[in-house]
Amino acid sequence: MATLHLDNVQIHQGLQSLLSLDTAIAPGEIVTVMGPSGVGKSTLLAYIAGFLSPAFQASGQVRLDDTRLDTLPAEQRHLGLLFQDPLLFPHLDVEGNLAFGMRRGGERRERIRAALASVGLEAFARRDPATLSGGQKARVALLRVLLSAPRAILLDEPFSRLDAALRDEIRQWVFERVRDHHLPTLMVTHDEADARAVGGRILTLTKPDGSGNLYGREYGAPGS
Amino acid sequence: MTAALSYRLVIRTLPWLTIGLLSLPVLSGLAGALAPAFGWLPALGGEQLSLAPWRELARVPGLGEMLRLSLVSGLGSALISLAVVVLFLGSFLQSPVYRRLQGWLAPLLAVPHAAAAIGLAFLLAPSGWVMRIVSPWLTGLDYPPDFAFPGDDWGLALILGLVIKEVPFLLLMSLAALVQCRADERMMVARSLGYPPLTAFLKTVMPGLYPLLRLPVYAVIAFATSNVEVAMILGPTTPSTLAVAVVGWLHDPDLTTRFMASAGALLQLLVTLVALLGWWLVERLVVRLSRGWWQDGHRHCGERSLSLLARWAMRLVLGLMLLALAGLALWSVAGYWPFPQSLPWPPTLGNWQDAADGLLSPVTQSLAVALGATLLSLVLVLGSLEAETLRRRPLRPGAQLILYLPLLVPSVAFLFGLVMLQAQLGQQPGMLAVILGHAVFVLPYLFLSLAESYRRLDPRWAQQARSLGAGPWRVFMGVRLPMLLAPILTAAAVGFAVSIGQYLPTLLLGAGRVETVTTEAVSLASGGDRRLTAIHALLQLALPALGFVVALLLPRLLFRRRRGLLLSH
């Protein structure tokens, strides 16, 4: 598995610099980016994933080991993206959603069955995603990303829409899976509980000098 | 890589084809009318520029009356329709009446002009249904009275026929505009400051709403000053409106009349421009005069009587439309139906059986033209909307104007020029020309119906799909199209209905080789056979209705086990 590098990434909006970040995320490491809403956390993820709005300009490089990603179209970056909402395609059943991200050929159905069985959802393959519970949807959404064979994972406030009771359980489950797969993972969140649960490095986006500019500043894991 | 390239190529080309389809026929059509209007049309022996066609036009008896009729019926019907819509919205925007009405608008809009006009004529004629219902117990009449309707000299029947179609159109256009100008918030603020609903609406919503309704209102004026089929069925005949006269001249066996007819087509363009200009000037004046009124603090403007008026005007408009359509159904099953019986008894299917053989051809031709025009428009509209997602910004105001171009330029003027071009270039009129001609009118409605849903689809769906490795074609075909299937089919049904209702492009571009239920209904309407006319008018209703049923049921069938998809629309 490769390391995800963000080399001198700077995002501007016109003349105003929005954020800058320089870091590397090792396989199986989960790095958290924190900051209040509206400071450009989601813009950072959009840039890495290849969806930066034309209103912004970015410089720097995104690499997986030696493969440069920021010059590739989004669909060739193989970055698994998980949003706040599970975004299961409503016109496909559970199996269809999982198959959507997989490559053609190679016992797709068997792998889907095995993946569903691993989370106790083996009976749900032909179900309408709208009939699933919140926790089930979250699981299927992560399975879909993992089955698409990503080379890194981007989490965009992935637990904020879950019930408080479910949140801890799903959170632990997602982190375990990501680590099992040895995927470098970048999580954007405003919830400190997310950061504490990861226990890894935290980058905080703040306004350090009153100029309105935002910089990624590294801290160690809380309590370490 | 090649897939991404082909996607960009196709999606970037389609908006240009759309612009071409909307503007080229209009511009070349106007040019095609311009040359013969000044005597130049070599195919008919006109090889010298002259003003003779205009001199001939000026000598047409009753020309002044024609112009007056076109202007008065056009501006009058637009003014009445706008007033009814504005007063109704102002009085009932936040009431259940308004919500109940919304579901009726699209079907009402799908009623072809000709069918509504025929129904209205049969309803209000001296021997029509209304007279039969109130005779003889109320009127004391055993024979139909003697008054001119339809076809009264003032054009009142024509104005009424236009109003019952324009009110649903303006209401439907207001739905999106009201959301866009945040009408609810404006109303809430004004009402919390002590303004009753109608005054609150006129003083705070209207200034934001009208600019968004301006193009639809102009389209209404352009249509009302220049339409042919409603004026043929409901308008006076001695003389008729200018547009009807121009179409008559075009069909004059004496081919040299076409030079004068070309001048007439351009005069129609001028008449519509004058009407639009006049409206625009009044609009400026009203805005200037109301500035003070908006902020003078008066909380009332005759609310109660105006609201009452709006309620009854809306009931009248919708009631006339529904009664007119019900009347058509009665006439289609009427055997012997003497005045003043209110119902034809016993009803008979004989009329339908007699007509059946003759219906097959117009129905299949209607379907062929409508499906062709709808499919072509759908591809162009989907391409244009998809291109917006590529550029990540909606249409510029200029593009919006192009969308309205075929609705703002009188169709009789540019279609006439296209016929002249056909003649000059030796092009055969026929099915293909008719389909293209219909698409010019279908496309704007299809676009306006679909754009809102297409733009509202959460961009994260596409982002999720692409991050899972789907290329742009797969995102379009595998995610956007299926997720938007319901609104796409509804928009297609609207386009299909528009095509079924088209009269003039079929008549002019098909040169008699293409006969649809609409051209048949209009030509029958001038004859005396009410039963056969009613049958054709009902078919005009049935075909669009069929389209809407398919649009409603197909997604429910395909996605019957996909609750998330059906609930979101």
Do residues B18 and B443 touch, judged by C-beta distance below 8 A?
A: yes
How does DSSP assign B513-532, residue by residue? S---HHHHHHHHHTSS-HHH
Do residues B531 and B334 touch, judged by C-beta distance below 8 A?
A: yes
Please give the pLDDT value at position B234.
Answer: 95
Please give the pLDDT value at position B178.
Answer: 93
CB contact under 8 A, A89 and B467: no
Please give the pLDDT value at position A32.
Answer: 93
Which residue in the set A46, A85, A90 is minimally distant from B483, CB to CB? A90
What residue ranges define each of the domains in chain A, with the CATH number in brackets? 4-88+149-219 (3.40.50.300)
Please give the pLDDT value at position A220.
Answer: 42
**Parallel, antiparallel or unpaired: strands A57-64 and A67-68:** antiparallel
B-chain CB neighbours of A151 within 8 Å are: none
CB contact under 8 A, A83 and B464: yes
> How many Å apart are CA B472 and CA B481, to the nearest integer?
12
Strand ranges inside B159-284, DSSP E: none
Q: B490-499: per-residue pLDDT in tens?
A: 999 999 999 9
B-chain CB neighbours of A76 within 8 Å are: 469
**Parallel, antiparallel or unpaired: strands A152-156 and A4-13:** unpaired
What CA–CA distances, in Å, run from B387 to A54, B146, B460? 15, 59, 17
Shortest alpha-carbon distance between residue A118 and chain B (Å): 21
B473 at the A interface (CB within 8 A)?
Answer: no
A-chain CB neighbours of B467 within 8 Å are: 49-50, 74-75, 77, 79-81, 154
Q: Please check the confidence at residue A150 and state whether its pLDDT lies above 90.
A: yes
3 state SS of A31: strand
Which residue in the set B459, B468, B483 is minimally distant from A101, CB to CB? B468
Per the listing, tokens 């003497």 go with B338
B564 at the A interface (CB within 8 A)?
Answer: yes
CB contact under 8 A, B561 and A90: no
A-chain CB neighbours of B461 within 8 Å are: 87, 89
Amino acid letter, residue B269:
L
Amino acid letter, residue B194:
G
CA B87 to chain centre: 22
Tokens representing B235? Answer: 């308008």
Please give the pLDDT value at position A55.
Answer: 86
CATH number for the domain whose boundaries are B1-32+359-569: 1.10.3720.10
CB contact under 8 A, A79 and B479: no
Shortest alpha-carbon distance between residue B338 and chain A (Å): 57
- A213 pLDDT tier (thresholds 50, 70, 90): very low
B463 at the A interface (CB within 8 A)?
Answer: yes
**Overall average pLDDT of the A51-71 stretch:** 92
Please give the pLDDT value at position A221.
Answer: 40
Tokens representing B464? Answer: 């999720």
CB contact under 8 A, B478 and A100: yes
Per the listing, tokens 């000053």 go with B225
ipTM score:
0.87
> How many Å apart are CA B296 and CA B294, to the nearest integer?
6
Domains B1-32+359-569 and B62-319 share a fold: yes
DSSP B561: T
Cβ-Cβ contacts under 8 Å between A and B: the total is: 80
Shortest alpha-carbon distance between residue B464 and chain A (Å): 7
**Overall average pLDDT of the A62-84 stretch:** 93
Q: B156-206: per-residue pLDDT in tens?
A: 999 999 999 999 999 999 988 998 899 999 999 999 998 999 999 999 999
B-chain CB neighbours of A78 within 8 Å are: 469
- A210 pLDDT tier (thresholds 50, 70, 90): very low
Burial class of residue B41, CB neighbours in 10 A (0-12, 13-18, 19+): buried
B-chain CB neighbours of A87 within 8 Å are: 460-461, 464
Element (H, E) at A8: strand A4-13
Q: Can you give the length of chain A in residues? A: 224
A-chain CB neighbours of B482 within 8 Å are: 91
Which residue in the set B483, B485, B562 is minimally distant from A128, CB to CB? B562
Tokens representing B508? Answer: 């002019």
Q: Can you give the length of chain B in residues? A: 569
DSSP A123: G
Intervals of chain B under pLDDT 50: 569
Please give the pLDDT value at position A211.
Answer: 44
Taking any CB pair shorter than 8 Å as contact, residues of chain A touching chain B are 46, 49-51, 53-54, 73-81, 83, 85, 87-91, 93, 100-101, 103, 128-131, 144-145, 148, 154
> How many Å apart are CA B552 and CA B538, to the nearest integer?
21
Shortest alpha-carbon distance between residue B554 and chain A (Å): 14
B483 at the A interface (CB within 8 A)?
Answer: yes
B-chain CB neighbours of A131 within 8 Å are: 563
Burial class of residue B391, CB neighbours in 10 A (0-12, 13-18, 19+): exposed
Please give the pLDDT value at position B394.
Answer: 62
What CA–CA distances, in Å, run from B244 to B60, B114, B406, B412, B484? 14, 14, 19, 9, 41
B457 at the A interface (CB within 8 A)?
Answer: no
Interface test with B, best of A76, A91, A97, A183 (most B CBs within 10 A): A91
Please give the pLDDT value at position A208.
Answer: 42
- For the domain made up of B62-319, the CATH class stated in words is mainly alpha
CB contact under 8 A, A128 and B463: no
Q: Please, what is the average pLDDT of chain A? A: 87
In chain B, domain spans: 1-32+359-569, 62-319
A-chain CB neighbours of B478 within 8 Å are: 100
> How many Å apart are CA B509 and CA B434, to the nearest integer?
5
B-chain CB neighbours of A93 within 8 Å are: 561
Please give the pLDDT value at position A35.
Answer: 77
Do residues B398 and B19 touch, judged by C-beta distance below 8 A?
A: no
How does DSSP assign A178-219, residue by residue? HHHTT--EEEEES-HHHHHHH-S-EEEEE--SSSS--EEEEE
Please give the pLDDT value at position B299.
Answer: 86
